[in-house]
Structure 1
Amino acid sequence: MSYSATISLRRPAQKNGLNTLRLQVIINRKVVPIPLKVAWPEALFDEEAGKCLASLPKNKQEASYKELLQRTEAAVGGPLEKQASDINLILGKARGKANDIFVKYRLQDDLVLTVDEFLRQYNSGASNTDFLTYMEARIAERFRRGQISENTRKGHTSTLRKLREFAGTLPFSSLTHKFSGDFDAWLKKRHKSCLNTRSGRHRNVKAYLELARRDKITFEDPYQYFVNSTVQGQWRALTPAELGLLEDYYAQTKPGTTHRRMLQKFLFSCESGLRLGDLKAAGQAKFTDRVMQLKPHKTYRYDEKDLLLPLTRKAMRYLEDSQRENDIEGFFLYTDQYTNRQLQAIGGLLGIETKIHHHIGRETFATNFIRRGGKVEVLQKLLGHKKLSMTMKYVHVDEQMKQDEINRIDLLDACG
C-alpha cells in the first residue's frame, strides 16, 4: 500500500492570473485531486515545497517582477506577505489532515485504505482526539448522506448540546468507566431527566462511540459497566370500550371535517400498528389486496427490505375513506402538535379517560392483538421490531386481561 499527499497548481491560470491550488492525493497509484478553494500565481509558488511565496530571490526576478507583485496583490485582495502566510496555513492543514489518515492506516496492518474511505474521513472533519468534535462532524455527515432523518438529527444534536454543557470538551483519552455514571447523574440532577430520557441520551452517545470504534479510534469503553435501563412509557393503550366510542364518533362525523380526517389516520394506526412516520408516508405505499408494502421510515437505513403489512378490513376502510373523501393517496396531514390537541379534545368530548396521543394507536393495536389471542412473535414482525423485548413495551396488560386469563384457567380446571 502506498500513499502520498502533495500541493499542486491547476493549469492554466484563471483570468485574474491566479492558479487554483489543490491537494493531490495518490492512493495505490490512483490520483485524487481535492480542491482547496484558494489560488496563487504560478510565478510565486514553490511547487516542490508546496508553498506560496510573497517574493522571489533577486536572481529570479524578471523585468516584469514589480508588475507581477502589484497584479497579484490586487487579485488576492491584500498584502502578499499576509495572504501567502494565511494560504500556507490552509495548505499545511490539508496536507497534515491527509497524513494523519495515512499514519493511522500504516500503523495497523489489518486496515486497507481505499479512495472512498479516505475521502469519507477527509471530508467528514471528524476529530480523532475529541469525541464531541467527532460526534458533531459525524451527525452532519450522516444527515447529509441521508443516513439519519431530520428528527433524528435534532435528537442527536440535542444530546451533543447536553454533553457540551456537561463536559465542555471530551477527549477520547479521557473516556473512562466513570463517564457514563457521572453523565447519568448530571442529567438527573441538572435537568431532572427521567429514566427513559436519560436512556435515550445514552443510546445516542453509544451510537457515535460505536462509529468511532469502527473508524479505528482507540479508547476505553465508558459503558462497559453501565446498565442502560428503561421503564415502560406513560402512554397507555385505549380500552376496547374507549376504542368503540371513537369508532362510533367517527361514524357520525361528516366527510372533510378536521375530526374525521384525524380519526381516519389515528384509527388506522389502532388497527395496523403503523408508526407515525410511516402513516405520514402511507400515500407512497403499494397495495396488493389487503397487504401494504412500504419501506419503514425508522429502519430503512439498516434494513433494505420492504415491510409487508397485512391489514384488517377495518383498517382498509379508514384508508379508503381518506382516499375517497380527501382525494389523496394516504391521509390528510396536520402538524403533530395540532393533531394531539384535537385528539385530546375528542377524548374529552367522549369522556375517554386515557390520554389520547398519536403514539398510542400503535400501543392500542399491540395490546388488542394480544388480547384477542395473537402470538407475540407474530406481533414482533408486524411492528417491525428486531428484539422481542421492544415489542413487549407496547403491550399493556390491563385488569380485564388478567381476569380473563384466570377465568380461562378456571374453565380448564372445571373441564379437567
Structure 2
Amino acid sequence: MNSTTTYFDTRVDTSKVYVPMNFNFKPRNYENSSGKSPVYLHVTSKNKRKRIHLDVYINTQYWDDKSAKLSGPKEIVCDTNLILDNIRAKITNIQTMYKLSSKTLTIDSFMEEFNNEMPRVNFVSFMKKLLADRKNTISPATYEKEYSIYKKLYAYKEEVLFCDIDNYFFLKYRSYLAGLGNVATTRNGNVKVIKKYLRIATKAGIKLPIALDDIAVGSTKGNRTYLTAFEVKCLYDYFTATYISKNIKIILGYFLFSCFTGLRISDVMNIKRDDLKHGVHTFNHIKTGKQQVIKLNGKTKDIIGMCPDLFITKYSDPYINETLKSISAHVNINKHVTFHVARHTFATNFILLGGNVVKLQMLLNHSDIKDTMVYVHLAEGEKNTDMNLMDNLF
C-alpha cells in the first residue's frame, strides 16, 4: 500500500547540496488477531531506509492512500487520525529545529531524535524531559527544587517556544512570579534555573534569539532569618513539654538539632540514629559531597535522648516546613521559619557567643569565607540592638 510522501531537504554543509528525506505511513499487509494491521513510518534518504513501528493499528478498509489517513465514520477514525497528525507534527518539529540550527539532518540523527523524543521546539517540554533524564544523577533536593520551578513555568504557559525566549519573555515571566507572591530572590532563582536548562539546550544545537549572557539573573541570596537565644529557648521548652504530639516533637527535634549543629535539612534527613551513638558523626554533605566530622554537643545529645523516634521517623521537606510554621505561631515567634532558619540560627549565635569565623566556615562547610562573613555582619547587627539597654541608665 502506498501513501502520500513528505519531503524535506537537508543541506549537507561540506558540499552545499540538498539531500531529500522522505517520510510516509504504510500499513502492513497482515492482520493481527483483532483483524487490524500495524502502521509503520518509513523514512528514506539516498540509499538508506528505516522503518519505525508506531504502535498504531487500523482497520485497512478505512485507510486512504492519498491522504495517508483513515477515512470513515468519525467515531471510528478520529482518534487514530489525531495520533497520525501528532506524529507528522513531531516530524516537522525535528526538521524545523535542524533547519534553524543549520545542522544536517541525516537519517540516523532523525531516528535518534524521533525515538528519544527530546523536544526541540517547546522549552517547557524540553525542561520536563531533561529533568526526567537527570533525576537519578542529581540530589533529591535539587530535583525537587528544579521540578517545582518547571511546574510554575508549566502553569504560566504550557508551550514556550525556543524562538520566543527573549528579554521580553523574562520580563513577563518575572511579573507573573511576582503576582504569585514570589519575592525578588525567588524570582531570580527561577530565572537562574531556567537559564541553566537553556544553556543545556544551546549545547544540544538549539538556537535562541537571545545570548544567554545577556539574561541578568540577579541576587538569589535571601534574608538570613535567624532565631535569637530567647526564641530558641522557647522552642526547646515547647519540645520538652509532655503534651505535644509525637510528630511535632520529632519535627521540632530535627529543627533544634540543626540549631545546635548548623546542618542542612538534606544532611539531617540522611542521618541514621546509630550514626550518632558515639557522639561523633562523620558524613559527606549532600550538597557539596565534601566529608565532615562533627562532635555532638551536650544540647544535641539531650535532644536525641528525649526523642527516641528522632532519626528513625522521617518526614518530607514541605511537611516539615509547614509544621514549623504552625509551631512558630504557637510559641509567638513572628518570623517566617523554615528548616533552613536553623542553620542561620546556629551560625549567627555561634558568632555572638564568641566563635571564630574561620572555624564557623569549616562547620558550615563553606568553600568561600565571604559566605560565612554574612553571619558576622548579622551578629554585629544583633549586638547593636543592645544599645537600647542604655535607655535604662536613668
Mark yes or no: TM-score above 0.5. Answer: yes
Match status 1:37 vs 2:82: no
Which residue number in structure 1 is paired with residue 76 of structure 2? 78
Q: Aligned residue for 2:37? A: 19
Q: In the alignment, does 2:149 pair up with 1:155?
A: yes
Residue 345, structure 1, aligned to residue 317, structure 2: no
Q: Which residue does the alignment assign to 2:127? A: 138
C-alpha contact 2:94 2:110 (8 A) present in aligned 1: no
Contact 1:279/1:331 (CA < 8 Å) preserved in 2? Answer: no
Structure 2 CA distance, aligned partners of 1:159 and 1:211?
17
CA distance in 2: counterparts of 1:5 and 1:252, whole angstroms: 75
1:21 maps to a residue whose letter is V
| Letter of the structure 2 residue corresponding to residue 118 of structure 1 | E
Inter-partner Cα distance in structure 2 for 1:119 and 1:388:
48
In the alignment, structure 1 residue 365 sits paired with structure 2 residue 346: yes
C-alpha displacement at 1:44, in angstroms? 8.9
Q: Equivalent residue of 2:117, what SS? A: helix
- For residue 271 of structure 1, report the CA deviation from its aligned partner: 1.8
- The sequence identity of aligned pairs, in percent, is 19
Instruction: Report if the CA contact (8 A) 1:343-1:356 is conserved.
Output: yes
The letter for the 2-side match of 1:78 is I
After superposition, the C-alpha distances for 1:163-191 in whole angstroms (9 at most, x for unaligned) are: x4xxx975444444455456546765x56
Alignment partners' CA distance in 1, 2:21 and 2:367 = 44
SS of 2:54's partner is strand
Q: Is the Cα contact below 8 Å between 1:187 and 1:193 reproduced in 2?
A: yes
Establish whether residue 325 from structure 1 lines up as the match of residue 308 from structure 2.
yes
User: What's the counterpart of residue 118 of structure 1?
Assistant: 113
Q: How far has the Cα of 1:267 moved from its partner?
A: 0.8
| 8 Å contact kept, 2:185–2:219 | yes
1:226 paired residue among 203, 216, 224? 216
Q: How far apart are 1:142 and its partner, in Å?
A: 1.0
2:143 aligned partner, one-letter code: S
Moved more, 32-41 or 357-366: 32-41
Matched, 1:397 2:379: yes
Say which SS state the counterpart of residue 326 (structure 1) adopts.
Answer: coil
- The correspondence for 2:199, drawn from 172, 195, 210, is 210
**Distance 1:403-1:144 versus aligned 2 partners, 3 A rule:** same
Q: CA deviation at 1:341?
A: 0.8
Give TM-score, length-normalised by structure 1.
Answer: 0.62
Q: Assess, with a 3 A threshold, how the Cα gap between structure 1 residues 23 and 359 changes in structure 2: closer, same or farther.
A: same
CA displacement at 1:363 relative to structure 2: 0.6
Q: Is the 8 Å Cα contact of residues 321 and 338 (structure 2) preserved in structure 1?
A: no
SS at match of 1:149: helix
Separation of aligned partners in 2, 1:386 and 1:152: 23
Q: 1:205 to 1:244 in 2, by over 3 A?
A: same
- Quick check: 2:349–2:379 contact (8 Å CA) kept in 1? no
1:312 equivalenced with 2:272 (yes/no): no
Give the Å deviation of 1:379. Answer: 4.6
In structure 2, give the amino acid aligned to 1:92: R
Letter in 2 for 1:229: S
SS in 2 for 1:229: coil
State the Cα distance separating 1:368 from its structure 2 match: 3.1
8 Å Cα contact 1:281-1:330 kept in structure 2: no
The separation in 2 between residues aligned to 1:284 and 1:3, in whole angstroms, is 65
For 1:83-102, what aligned pairs fall within 5 Å after superposition? 89-100=85-96
Query: Measured at CA, do residues 33 and 245 of structure 1 come closer, stay the same or move farther in structure 2, by a change above 3 Å?
Result: farther
CA distance in 1 between counterparts of 2:96 and 2:132 reads 25
User: 1:185/1:15 Cα in 2 relative to 1: closer, same or farther (>3 Å)?
Assistant: closer
Residues of 1 paired with 2:273 and 2:59: CA distance? 54
Take 1:32 and 1:344, find their aligned partners in 2: how far apart are those partners?
65
On the 8 A contact 2:324/2:337 being kept in 1, the answer is: no
On the 8 A contact 2:328/2:337 being kept in 1, the answer is yes
Give me the whole-angstrom Cα distance separating, in 2, the residues matched to 1:99 and 1:359. Answer: 47
Specify whether residues 89 and 341 from structure 1 end up closer, same or farther in structure 2 by C-alpha distance, changes over 3 A only: closer
User: What is the aligned residue count?
Assistant: 355
- Relative to structure 1, the CA distance from residue 153 to residue 91 in structure 2 (aligned partners, 3 Å threshold; closer, same or farther) is closer
Unaligned runs of 5+ in 1: 56-72, 405-416
User: What is the aligned-residue RMSD (CA, Å)?
Assistant: 5.1
